[in-house]
Amino acid sequence: MTDTKVFLLDGGSLVLDGYHVFWNRGPGGEVRFPVYSILIEHRDGRFLIDTGYDYDHVMKVLPFEKPIQSKEQTIPGALALLGLAPKDVGVVVNSHFHFDHVGGNKFFPHAKKICHRDEIAQAITPQPFEVLGYSDLSFSKQAADARNASQQLLAGTSADNSTFEGVTGDIELAKGVTLIFTPGHAIGHYSLLVEFSNRKPILFTIDASYTQKSLETLCQASFHVDPVQGVASMRRLKQLAEQHGAELMYSHDMENYKTYRTGTEFYG
């Protein structure tokens, strides 16, 4: 049996105002934060959780987020550092469909796709305040057609295979790899718990908690569909981390990210 390994695929960085990162708390001012995807090598195959942002999409639709992304920080580039290509990944899971988590889906037409059942409908018909979050619909031709989005909003080409298996609640993808339902930031948001045989588990909050400070202060980002659910999800993550003795890792926390293993370094 091969032990589970987790690689973080560096996806570059973006900028938000501090009041968006820490809703109604701040302080304001530019905050540059990392974007990364999670590659799990498991005896049952390779699972990729999220696919980062598409540079051209951000420049077209959200240039104020000032993307910085090298070739190595694209999904194919980050996989190449590991001697892999998109075809080597069998399953792609999207934690939710915000643009900084789906931008590279188009590279995986062959892969099985999994998301929360409610995310596709929400991406097609978002709340008015969610439109920029759900602005990159290149992950699904059907979703893009359904939204009747203008060409301007769409970057790149849609994946050939954009059929998702919709799941609900907590779900074990493979032994020791569990999606944890943490709604609030998005209607069908998932966090991720990975268990190993030789080290403590890692609980990836993903966007339920952008940073360590967010979780400590129960201060979510200003992007959410239900902030009350968002706080409940944060409390649940704290509890789960304690219960499993898990190390917490955050999605958009530059200070912590600098200490994370990326590139060819891995957890496992």
Nearer to Zn ion, 41 or 100 (CB): 100
Which runs of consecutive H residues, i.e. helices, occur in the chain? Answer: 18-21, 55-61, 75-81, 99-102, 117-124, 141-147, 212-217, 227-244, 254-257
In one-letter notation, the amino acid at residue 64 is F
Are 81 and 263 contacting, i.e. CB atoms less than 8 angstroms apart? yes
The first and second tokens of residue 186, run together, are: 């998005």
Nearer to Zn ion, 100 or 130 (CB): 100
Closer residue to Zn ion (CB): 161 or 212: 212
Q: Pick between residue 41 and residue 253 the one whose CB is nearest to Zn ion.
A: 253
CB of 41 to Zn ion, least distance (A): 23
CB of 43 to Zn ion, least distance (A): 29
Nearest to 236 by CA among 175, 186, 200, 193: 193
Decide if 207 is catalytic: no
Q: Distance (Å, rounded) from C-alpha 81 to C-alpha 83? A: 6
Query: CB 133 → Zn ion: shortest distance, Å?
Result: 8
* Marked catalytic residue, from 50, 100, 136, 253: 100
Q: Is 30 helix (H, G, I), strand (E, B) or coil?
A: strand
Q: Which residues pair with 38 in a beta bridge?
A: 8, 49
Q: Closest separation between CB of residue 251 and Zn ion, Å? A: 5
Residue number with CB closer to Zn ion (54 or 207): 207
Exposure string for 67-106, b = 16+ CB within 10 A, e = fewer: bebeeebbbebbbeeeebebeebebbbbbbbbbbbbbbbb
Residues in the site for Zn ion, rule: CB under 5 A? 100, 207
For the CB of residue 8, give the shortest distance to Zn ion in the complex, in Å: 14
Active site positions, annotated: 100
